[in-house]
Structure 1
């Protein structure tokens, strides 16, 4: 019986691929051309977000809550879906902050990353934020 309980706890621990502590830090996409975007994940499950347009002007600054659920990161509203669109030409896109953001967590080139967006599971490097400074 003790062996079965021990095995159960090992399976539960192994099924939780990422922990909040591993995710703490600053993330940024490395292939955006129209925007520069940072998401800082804090120890208190608060994230701070800064989005700059292609002229390096700060156009959005938000805070919200985040959590890890196995291999997913979940952002509560306000979450801005930055699809690297031209925010100089279309500033009204910044008003889209009422939804949640959900991303798949993984490791790419030895760095933790999460990929969010409508097609993030189907298109490689689609809206992927890599941990900076690791």
Structure 2
């Protein structure tokens, strides 16, 4: 058989994702936040007033997992749920002042990691890579 798993796009993407997630998790650890929690908090800050169902779609997680993450973020004082005026059964998500301040600290850390990932790669190749990833995601 003349097939190498190491050359499989899916395998390579998975390996890269695990490595980058571990690196970012280590950098976020002093702030008591995981990469998954960061993703939700970032989107709450970016899309204030979003409901939990929409948030699950933004972060590509199922609703129960998203709800658990929001529970943790709420316990830590970074997110608050408010009842929707249109639908009393729905909760809308808003960042707290502390949540916004934390995102202001974490985004530069995440940006710096992305810079490190792209080190030594010409900008046009990086743009082509991002475009290719976008096409792959579209195919999925």
Common fold: TM-score over 0.5:
no
Q: Return the structure number with greater strand share.
A: 1
Q: Return the structure number with greater helix share.
A: 2
Larger Rg over CA atoms: 2
